Structure 1
């Protein structure tokens, strides 16, 4: 009998052998063929022909390792113990799956479609159906895939290492979609790591369970071809972009079924119907990448390649996106490449070393969030993240990525004191590797998925965030205007009697409005952590709170910049948002809340259908002040315009005193009142201008003509020339 040295046998049996494929399976020994198989738990093991007619018993060497002669040819294994007999195909009888080109691109860090070769894929290999597993763990001495299919025993499916790339792979015949699995990794120090979820896994178990789950991609049959061909018309800087930001788990719940969240299929009906009815153009999803902790709202993901199982399987998420597209709604995903959690089953010390993160906590640890920072300077890590961006755009047809916490990526001293950070190679604070990574993401995203948008949540004055990469910008399509958000909220939270002293809080944004392509965000961040609801921020009694909030939203929709509103704020949610609950839909029984919802619906319609209100959101030709300095009256008047379209004049009176006010106009004639936030339909007092005003030859505010206009208290009114309405 061909023998195996005892030390080799023990290394295999103990999971210490660095190249199990060199021993296990069929090998030509020069004296005829030999089969070696490691099957712990078997009392006897035989090799059998595929038809089962020939059976050769193998000899037991030690600790479940069996060896025996076998002439060249296909075989299966038959194991027996006191409880059962079972036949199976030997994973060690199959050759590699990954090709040389894949190896080369992985090693180079340039594999744009990394998810097509790493992760767990249901394939047919050498004539049999099964699952191919591949994972990057360059410092590991041994990697095994474990699951229910091998009783979570890391000795049974030790993987093949593919040269210098650090990738390990194995094909296990007979497995199917739905199998749960993790990786057992023996680190370079000889210590077995906590079982790891798959960094490129396409699915996961329901939390609090943490295993990856084999899921097939491409099961959904898409019907959104027309949308994808024309979506550039909906995503460009001159288009009306009004985004409804949603946390899927708490938008609505099924209370008669234990308060469960809606499924992707249910959301494809209920949420999209609602968004269409409300007139929003896009949905932005708080991260639906798989995450272990509900309280992170998805911002501490472990499974970057997996839509969370909380709402269904991958094909069901694809159906949700498809349904949105077929109703003309774009879908944007909050994407988190800035950090990852320290959960043992995640990326932390994945192969026993600081693989995805920096080894030095001054570079690799976020003190604010207790999370780890990706090492953007490592080519394989950069490739992992870059491919992930393309994965969501290509596999799930997403229309954009809103990149979270960009400021924390750009600066090495972000939220750090002196001595707590490491300067870059030039002694500066900029994270040059992260900057290069973001440029690469935007270049690849726009090049690989035409018509999409990328959005930066960036809270500093870092230059060129939305400048193209070829002009040395970061290359984002849009940037959240955090300055406008902070200043305007600060202004509207003030008692109106004090607003005249803070007039510049609403005018200052016009000095930089066109320095970037801005989105005006009222996001989830403004209604959490003790900040209360938008309604709760407003001063005054109940009616004045609603009037102030209506005026704020109207000012937001009239101001240059695309729009974003977090769910629930469109009907003046009363309480601070709580991820474990649901929106207070019952408030819509109150006319004031229903009126707020109706106003947002009308603002969206007006915004979409009026070029002057959206064409110049990111173009300075689209805006001009008429009255910016009347601090005493707390009145603001400005003009919105677009080439070849009628202008719109917006007037805001942000005191509780009604005013008759002479307002300059860009042209003579009759001007229709096209919007009034004080409308009784919206819950206001219904004071206005009886539908129209008339321009007079009285020069005011550098305009040849003007009109006397009635400005309701705490209200915004908008006017358009009569001929444009006919």
Structure 2
């Protein structure tokens, strides 16, 4: 078919100069297909192409090539085809010929419904809408890009595929939502990309990584990477079916927290870190043998600065490339589940770093953060605070949380720095913060966000858990949202941790005068669903190791730590310890090193690990120690006022199961003939003695059993007379259950 060439076909519309020079806010008004009656005018922009030809696909006559006219030195090429005909481009470069579809031949791809939900902060699956989405459109494979930048004048996709030239692939603005989109044919997983953003005043910002990227280059490189959309090959069906029962409040939950880069250095090389597959091979058997139920990973969302330990993330949808691909990470989670281990991730919605390739000043304005530094800057960490008053920001964060739980089968999220979110005056002096609309210090937007987050998790993945790191007495952290609470599943018990560390750091000679320090925690132990935590924060920043904070000589330090851990496992609440504590590491943790694995042959160290293993076993197999962790009916004092001997004793209960008696001798003095009241007579089995020689102790004890007579004591009808080992804990239960 011959097409009459009309001069009007080659007349250029307004705005061409802005387009050619990379200033156009509306490239689709000029580029792509434009109908002029019986013909469509095609305009493309390739500054460095020698020539461009249109390859027209004719249904019955095969393909036909038509040359495009280069419009001066503008880089714009114009040609015509029959109206409605399919076409693609043949581009002659200086050293190659490329055939490709025209990105500007495709219509709107992000649906109005997706954009509406995004603007309302209610889209649960933004990871499938925003960012780089490989897909096939009208039979053409490529990648659809979408990014939120409502204040930008122009946004372009840049990458290796267009020589990082922002003039090549400017995007289309969906005005109502402030979202820019573009489908680029021929791209696929593995390509690097960023966004080039021009502000309203014509200033080009530093190249921005994709906030919704699902993969990225390994730091210190900063480009986003198109992730594969292929589903993961999950084999954890049995775990997923049982998960709800393994994490609820009456289940035994003991958590091993670790920093993945420094857990173990391959071949001892300080410059290497483990891949996800290496970690699965070594970590899982170790943690399973030690009896933990879960691992908790310090943040693995992509982060630029290793010294932040992941707590300053920028890639909230991307597992860090330091350890492998997203598929490798999924395989690690799958392996944990198949071994019976849950996986909890630390997740950080409180703040983000000010790296120029990240979220800060994303489109030339404060978009993700607050404009006013009195609301938007964390001075402690030199980071920016998310503007939780914006629907889009809340939706961005909640979609990230849901993605980890759904796409990667994560069992729970520990939400970092909740206290810093709840209070507008957190770590601020007078005049450095802005009160809420009622004149108070509470951050009402953060409260609403946390409730929305927890409700979304509960509604979408009801068997997953959320855990709050909340260091104040904010009421109702674990109360359901519908009852006015924040809706978390559990809360870290920071008060218990601080009080207990202070008490066990004291010289045993004076502990009798300070019993309220560890008794106080039992006044509020059931006010929330608590996790007792000895986290990474307690073994860094000059605090030393847990062992180094114990008083006395080497024997006493290890005995004190054994006593502390036995006290912790017997106390109501789920348990968490940081890597290295399980074998009494001597030195403070450093993210540049690794735990002191070489000291494990020391009897004190191997003994500590054996004690932790046995504590985990007791905790899991004796329901009295876990079934009522969050219920006051599961705890009863026996002795709480013996300041002369510094001895404590209590009972733990579970319906239908034997009670467990816990006796703690807080001094290095052996207590002979110490009478303790118990609810039933007969033989009581000494199921744990932290002074056992197998743990590095002195071996003082009761020979494995104690006989309770009908002599009443401490409000109970029976009692037993015990030998209390020095600086040690005893667990006993009636002997008739076969445990």
Of 423, 426, 436 in structure 1, the residue corresponding to residue 438 of structure 2 is: 426
1:654-694 per-position Cα deviation (integer Å, ceiling 9, x unaligned): 11111121111121111110000001001111110011111
Shift of 1:255: 2.9
Corresponding position of 1:248: 260
SS class of match (2:256): strand
Of 514, 526, 530 in structure 1, the residue corresponding to residue 526 of structure 2 is: 514
- Greater CA drift, 210-219 or 160-169: 210-219
Where does structure 2 lack aligned partners over 5 or more consecutive residues?
1-6
What is the CA–CA distance in structure 2 between the aligned matches of 1:217 and 1:511, rounded to whole Å?
Answer: 51
Corresponding position of 1:19: 26
Where does structure 1 lack aligned partners over 5 or more consecutive residues?
none
Q: How does 1:539-554 map to 2 (within 5 A)?
A: 539-554=551-566
Shift of 1:226: 2.3
Matched, 1:503 2:515: yes
SS class of match (1:310): helix
What is the CA–CA distance in structure 2 between the aligned matches of 1:31 and 1:321, rounded to whole Å?
Answer: 58
Corresponding position of 2:10: 3
Of 679, 682, 687 in structure 1, the residue corresponding to residue 700 of structure 2 is: 687
What is the CA–CA distance in structure 2 between the aligned matches of 1:636 and 1:217, rounded to whole Å?
Answer: 57
Of 111, 114, 120 in structure 2, the residue corresponding to residue 99 of structure 1 is: 111
Corresponding position of 2:155: 143
What is the CA–CA distance in structure 1 between the aligned matches of 2:435 and 2:38, rounded to whole Å?
Answer: 62
8 Å contact 1:178–1:213 — kept in the other structure? yes
8 Å contact 1:181–1:197 — kept in the other structure? yes
Shift of 1:724: 2.0
Corresponding position of 2:41: 34
Shift of 1:49: 2.9
Cα 1:217–1:127, aligned 2, differ >3 Å: closer, same or farther? Answer: closer
What is the CA–CA distance in structure 1 between the aligned matches of 2:518 and 2:230, rounded to whole Å?
Answer: 48
Corresponding position of 1:55: 66
Matched, 1:672 2:702: no
Cα 1:173–1:429, aligned 2, differ >3 Å: closer, same or farther? Answer: same
What is the CA–CA distance in structure 2 between the aligned matches of 1:567 and 1:145, rounded to whole Å?
Answer: 42
Corresponding position of 1:582: 594
Matched, 1:68 2:79: yes
Corresponding position of 2:711: 698
Shift of 1:224: 1.6
What is the CA–CA distance in structure 1 between the aligned matches of 2:683 and 2:494, rounded to whole Å?
Answer: 38
SS class of match (1:642): coil
What is the CA–CA distance in structure 1 between the aligned matches of 2:66 and 2:163, rounded to whole Å?
Answer: 26
1:127-151 per-position Cα deviation (integer Å, ceiling 9, x unaligned): 1111111111111111101000000
8 Å contact 2:13–2:30 — kept in the other structure? no
TM-score (norm 2): 0.96
Shift of 1:40: 1.8
Q: How does 1:271-670 map to 2 (within 5 A)?
A: 271-660=283-672, 661-670=674-683
Shift of 1:69: 2.2
Corresponding position of 2:738: 725
Shift of 1:257: 6.1
8 Å contact 1:217–1:315 — kept in the other structure? no
Shift of 1:53: 4.3
Corresponding position of 1:174: 186
SS class of match (1:164): coil
What is the CA–CA distance in structure 1 between the aligned matches of 2:603 and 2:267, rounded to whole Å?
Answer: 25
Shift of 1:71: 2.3
Shift of 1:52: 6.0
8 Å contact 2:132–2:145 — kept in the other structure? yes
What is the CA–CA distance in structure 1 between the aligned matches of 2:580 and 2:13, rounded to whole Å?
Answer: 68
8 Å contact 1:230–1:451 — kept in the other structure? no
Of 217, 220, 224 in structure 1, the residue corresponding to residue 236 of structure 2 is: 224
Cα 1:579–1:258, aligned 2, differ >3 Å: closer, same or farther? Answer: closer
What is the CA–CA distance in structure 2 between the aligned matches of 1:400 and 1:676, rounded to whole Å?
Answer: 33
SS class of match (1:418): coil
8 Å contact 2:683–2:708 — kept in the other structure? yes
Corresponding position of 2:721: 708
What is the CA–CA distance in structure 1 between the aligned matches of 2:660 and 2:268, rounded to whole Å?
Answer: 48
8 Å contact 1:218–1:395 — kept in the other structure? no
What is the CA–CA distance in structure 2 between the aligned matches of 1:11 and 1:225, rounded to whole Å?
Answer: 55
1:520-545 per-position Cα deviation (integer Å, ceiling 9, x unaligned): 00000000101111111111111111
What is the CA–CA distance in structure 1 between the aligned matches of 2:268 and 2:135, rounded to whole Å?
Answer: 41
- Greater CA drift, 62-71 or 153-162: 62-71
What is the CA–CA distance in structure 2 between the aligned matches of 1:585 and 1:257, rounded to whole Å?
Answer: 13
What is the CA–CA distance in structure 2 between the aligned matches of 1:359 and 1:155, rounded to whole Å?
Answer: 30
What is the CA–CA distance in structure 1 between the aligned matches of 2:566 and 2:682, rounded to whole Å?
Answer: 25
